[in-house]
Amino acid sequence: MKLINFTAFKKILYDCQKAQRLTIKKQESRLTLSEYLQHRIHLHYCDVCRKFQQFSAVINQVFARERKEMQERPTNTLSSEEKIQLQRQVDELTEDLKN
């Protein structure tokens, strides 16, 4: 009885693109048991993909923090007077360009 399919095992070890896709999927949702095991095996042997996972986690944290800060900032709007003043300036500039 053959316990390990070595061809499949080698494919897991050398498929960095798949490991990176699984890293991203893991950050967005849950992996299946098969995906989880493949990912863990690959990361155990691949320094590059482990670094990718760490880097990707840092980027996600930065974007999450920025997203939160943007949602907490008040939105800036112009008053009616400011809008009228800006429109006048635009009109003056376009008149100057026409002449």
pLDDT of res. 51 = 94
Dihedral pair phi/psi, residue 15, rounded to 5°: -100, 80
- Number of domains, the chain: 1
**CB neighbours (10 Å) of residue 19?**
24
Measured N-to-C along each axis, helices 33-45 and 47-72 cross at an angle, to the nearest 10 degrees, of: 120
Is residue 86 one of the residues assigned to a domain?
A: yes
The DSSP secondary-structure symbol of 74 reads: P
Is residue 49 one of the residues assigned to a domain?
A: yes
Kindly give, in sequence order, each residue whose CB lies less than 8 Å from that of residue 24, ignoring residues fewer than 6 positions away.
56
Is residue 87 one of the residues assigned to a domain?
A: yes
Residue 44 is part of which domain span? 6-98
Is residue 1 one of the residues assigned to a domain?
A: no
Is residue 59 one of the residues assigned to a domain?
A: yes
Quote the longest CA-to-CA distance of the chain. 90
Is pLDDT larger for residue 55 or for residue 79? 55
Is residue 28 one of the residues assigned to a domain?
A: yes
The DSSP secondary-structure symbol of 66 reads: H
pLDDT of res. 1 = 46
Is residue 24 one of the residues assigned to a domain?
A: yes
| pTM (predicted TM-score) | 0.59
Is residue 85 one of the residues assigned to a domain?
A: yes
pLDDT digits (tens, 9 = 90+) for 25-74: 999 999 999 999 999 999 999 999 999 999 999 999 999 998 888 888 77
